[in-house]
Amino acid sequence: MSYSNSSLNCFTVCERKYYYNYVEHLAPETPPSPHLTFGAMAHEVLEKAGALRDNCDAGIPDYNICIPSELQYPELKDYFGIKNWQTYFTLICKQIAKYEKQLCDEYENPVIERELKLSLTPGEMYEKHLLYEGEATQPLVGVIDLLIMTPTAATIVDYKFSTKKKTQDDFDMNSQLYLYAMLVHEIYGVPLRNIQIAYIDIPKQDFSMPTLLTNGTLSRAKSQNTLQDMYIAAVQALHPDNWKEAIAPGGYYHDIVNELALNKAAYLQCQYIEMDAYNCIIPQLLDTIRRIEIISIYDLPWLTRFDAYTCKSCEFLHHCKKWLNVNNDV
């Protein structure tokens, strides 16, 4: 057993849910949501794609070998409206490769780590004055999707598949990246002021080639769900002799090609650690560890939240109702 950002946040939402999930290790009553299943599958694809890039001497890796076949996860394709896994993930992997190069170019000879598991033992947390001796019996862990680091600076990257782009609140009100920053700082000695936290935000949506109109030209509608590279490729296929002129300033497709530069298969958002947020978030996470340990040591009850909005979507609702019935019968 260990403490993680997920488990600590689970405790703050509902102590009883934490107990069922992380102490009793009960199986959830409901199957994982499509979003959770998609996230687990997609993170595995990105991890394998990153390893391919690390071992590729030159050129673009063949991402097809790490992408699910079209026969896999048909329910996810239908749920999210994705027609083709190969097209969807290849576009994402190529965009992430550009962002990785951009971030690595900020450093001299950086070390790149993927799916890096970091851990502080109870003894190490005591030695580093994070907790007093005896306040923790389990290690504090975190798994970083991508860490780009030198001895004096680091960028922590988290992949997020979502339906809308991240906002400033996603940085300020999310403890996950700040916990990772604390682990990198304490384990590797990287100064907090030199740590960047970043999201690579990946839309759960498919991109398609631009629409060919009945008049023989491509649609110039700004609302179409395509990318700049895909549109230029379509222009080149449709007008092989003069496609460059067609997308150049004054050309028939110039404006829409420029507009589509805003569309990407993934979006990078990056900022340095906000120390005010760090100094608020980290002490609260450590205090949550203390509260869990006190309940365990003194055999105190794990309290139920009793919030209809939260409870009705909880995967342990049936277990909790049985627990309530038992206590009511006493």
Does pLDDT of 329 surpass 60?
Answer: no
- Cα 160 from Cα 104, distance rounded (Å): 20
CA geometry: angle 288, 291, 294, nearest 5 deg: 150
Tens digit of each residue's pLDDT (9 = 90 or more) over 265-274: 999 999 999 9
Average pLDDT of the chain is 93
CA angle 261, 263, 266 (to 5 degrees): 120
Do residues 289 and 4 touch, judged by C-beta distance below 8 A? no
Report yes or no on whether pTM surpasses 0.85. yes
CB atoms within 10 A of CB 138: 17
For the chain, the structural domain boundaries read 5-205+265-318, 208-263
Maximum separation of any 2 CA atoms in the chain, in Å: 85
Mean pLDDT of 272-281: 95
- Which CATH number is 5-205+265-318 given? 3.90.320.10
pLDDT score, position 327? 60
107 CB neighbour count, 10 Å cutoff: 15
**Closest CA relative to residue 19, chosen from 321, 327, 319:** 319
Q: What does the pLDDT look like over 37-89, one tens digit per residue?
A: 999 999 999 999 999 999 887 778 999 999 999 889 999 999 998 989 999 99
State the amino acid at position 58 in one-letter form. A
Tens of pLDDT, residue by residue over 90-122, are 999 999 999 999 999 999 999 999 999 999 999
- pLDDT tens, residue by residue, 197-208: 999 999 988 888
